[in-house]
Amino acid sequence: MILAVKRKSETPKEPEFKGDETAETSESSLPTEQESTENEKSEEAFKEAEEAEEEPGSWEETFKTHTDSKPSGPTSVGLDFSLPGVENVYGIPEHAENLRLRTTEGGDPYRLYNLDVFQYDLYNPMALYGAVPVLLAHNVQRTLGIFWLNAAETWVDITSNTAGKTLFGKMLDYMQGGGETPQTDVRWMSESGIIDVFLLLGPSPKDVFRQYASLTGTQAFPPLFALAYHQSRWNYNDEEDVSAVDNGFDEHDIPYDVIWLDIEHADGKRYFTWDPNKFPHPREMLQHLAAKRRKMVSIVDPHIKVDSSYRIHSEIRSHDFYVKTKDGSDYEGWCWPGSAGYPDFTNPEMRAWWSSMFAYDQYEGSMENLYTWNDMNEPSVFNGPEVTMHKDAVHKGGWEHRDIHNLYGFYVQMATALGQVQRSGGVERPFVLTRAFFAGSQRFGAVWTGDNAAEWDHMKISIPMCLSLGLVGISFCGADVGGFFKNPEPELLVRWYQVGAYQPFFRAHAHVDTIRREPWLFGEENKALIREAIRERYALLPFWYTIFYHSYRTGQPVMRPLWVEYPQDTTTFSIDDQYLLGDSLLVHPVTAQGARGVQVYLPGKGEVWYDVRTHQKLHAPQTLYLTVVMSSIPVYQRGGSIIARKERVRRSSDCMQNDPYTLYVALGHQGTAKGDLFVDDGHTYNFETKGQYLHRRFSFSGNTLTASSADPKGSYETSAWIERVVILGAGKPAAVFLKQAGVAETRLEFTHEAETSVLTLRKPAVNIGADWTISLR
């Protein structure tokens, strides 16, 4: 059930008295002329006193050298929510914070105001690059959500009557019968706008995700290459540098799919252009990458250099598409190119024009394998208040920037993604990375956690930051591998590759002043460890692609906290150093310097888990201490699941399109398992528009593995086949037989490892789209 509550805000123009509104008015109660005069004098005196005591900045506010004229006067809207029985709340990203939100009593509230933050602090309620005003509350009975639909600067205050109490104290209260019911109170406060609240009543976590998706949309289904590994830095110097890095991956046998270009690739930071000296032949560069079935991403930021000879600026100005100052002139600020104008992306005509600039005949030098990165779209204004746009700047329709600030980056990404779709005639799926975001940004691409640092705590915080984003619909998220600022020591860099390989968006990126960090520059041993982490990502791409398909269809997060799958297990409520991918893989990356072991919690009463490397079977629930070495990435497959992998890793994901699959069947405690696989061409909308896809279902029961269609409406021709089936937790059969319709039953070769109970079936050699059964006898 979804309940929406709306109420308009009011702008207080002058103090107003209200007496007993239930009292009746009669002629005898009306004031006399003398009393009226006295009342008027009293009111005038009160107004004068109120004005004298009025808080400075109410009607005009100065921040350093910036003045906010507040033409509508002081405004705000707010609403309080009480959540009886709730101690655990999550969401309201983006903050560099634990997954479970802290109470804000005695400190600042959580702030939601998209800002370009330089080297942000950790475990802090400060505002960062994006804002999603959605909070989730959870206890063993139910999950619910609060969606505060307001794009103005917003503060969220969280208080609790159990804050500060230890677990022992809570138990003592319970035993003595004097403990009060736990309650969390949440106060939402926005500077302007209306009260527009959606209550998502669950009752399960998956119900809340579905309800929220019905309002804002689901995660865009990314092209397959976008789920592979991305190589970036600020900046690859020139075409020769790009070629050398590209060849380096081949020479060192490390797969990658996308190389990125930052702001230095453009001609004087003029976006949609190329530096004529460093990148004089962009099409030839892109064609060289395309020949290896690789892609490129170039940055296109929304600050436009004020230069009459720059076509993009001239056209925006001629169409009158720039944001205005309060006086009606074009708003200008300072950013990378120097003096810059800011297109008004709230204007649909401006967005349509921006989208048209991505056409191949408009974006000179672009090709089908060039995709886009929208950075600095909070928007970032170097000489603006808090490094952003003045609140009294004006958008189309007279809207002040203060009203729509958190939506600016949302619209930039929207227009860019639409431009990529349009350039292909609506055939190709886009890929756009954005730094600023709002509720619904998931429909247009990926986000990342911004300018982090090469520090252990920054790597560790990336996990709860991505989990928080997933809870509010944005599944396609990641952090700069290695850290953006500073230089990582080799141990940190290796561990960060291992962390990133199991996060949805997997990109290495670095500041211009850092040393070069290509994976082969840290010695043979570290290169081998990084290579192995990246190869693990590529082997799992069929699984990643399938869980992203489910997220696209249902709104369920790809990377999810344990409590989402185990909502009644209180142990999971505060865990944010491990997580689930879909409902089948549990990941506990190593995030501590010099770690020799990690403690892993395996949830699920009566369930079993399998170490994906050793295939050791473990019974849940339990907390185990796992000894780790530098090559360790603790990952466990859930008993009862079936996962498809491609274990012939090549130089890019596209090169693996027709390669064979290996099915990993992890038997549950009752000897059953199930799973699925989504297959299409990996890059077009043909799965939607032409039904060109396969959605395969696998199930194991009664010693029989069955493959069938999960959606008979789909059809797709592929030569990919199944080369191996690995069954975890299986006994040794006397014989194994494969049966297909219209084909005689055939006997399969197999091996069985008694110590680990792993049964490996060799070369079933069936097409991935075929129906078949394998019987263990």
Q: Among 488, 512, 515, which Cα is nearest to 499's?
A: 488
Residue pointed to by tokens 């990133």? 500
Structure-derived torsion over alpha carbons of residues 676, 681, 683, 686, reported in degrees to the nearest 10: -90
The number of angstroms, rounded, from the C-alpha of 428 to the middle of its chain's C-alpha atoms is 22
Q: Round to whole Å and give the CA distance between 73 and 63.
A: 16
Q: CB under 8 Å, gap of 24 or more: what pairs does 694-697 form? A: 694/718, 694/768, 694/769, 695/549, 696/768, 696/769
Structure-derived torsion over alpha carbons of residues 757, 762, 765, 771, reported in degrees to the nearest 10: -20
Residue 119 φ/ψ region, left for φ over 0, alpha for ψ in the -120 to 50 degree band, beta for the rest: left
Q: Round to whole Å and give the CA distance between 216 and 444.
A: 12
Strands in 264-420 per DSSP E: 295-299, 304-305, 332-335, 338-341, 370-374
Residue pointed to by tokens 């990690």? 598
> Active-site residues: which are they?
375, 451
Q: Round to whole Å and give the CA distance between 187 and 178.
A: 27
* DSSP label of 677: E
Token readout for 571 is: 């142990």
Token readout for 29 is: 């109660």
Q: Round to whole Å and give the CA distance between 218 and 224.
A: 17
Q: What three-state secondary structure class fits 535? A: helix
Per this entry, what is the length of the chain?
777
Interacting residues of 364 by C-beta distance below 8 A, sequence separation 6+: 272, 273, 274, 282
CA end-to-end span of the chain, whole Å? 49
* DSSP label of 195: E
Phi, psi (rounded to 5 degrees) for 643? -125, 135
Q: Round to whole Å and give the CA distance between 416 and 366.
A: 14
Q: Among 64, 691, 649, 75, which Cα is nearest to 383's?
A: 64
Token readout for 608 is: 């079993």
Q: Among 276, 282, 412, 261, which Cα is nearest to 360's?
A: 282
Q: What three-state secondary structure class fits 457? A: helix
Q: What is the 3-state secondary structure (H, E, C) of 23-48?
A: CCCCHHHCCCHHHHHHHHHHHHHHHH
Decide if 506 contacts 519 (C-beta within 8 A): no
Burial 44-75 (b: 16+ CB within 10 A, else e): eeeeeeeeeeeeeeeeebeeeeeebebeeebb
Q: Round to whole Å and give the CA distance between 496 and 633.
A: 11
Cis status of the peptide bond prior to 235, with omega within 30 of 0: yes
Distances (CA, A) of 125 to 120, 155, 592: 11, 10, 24
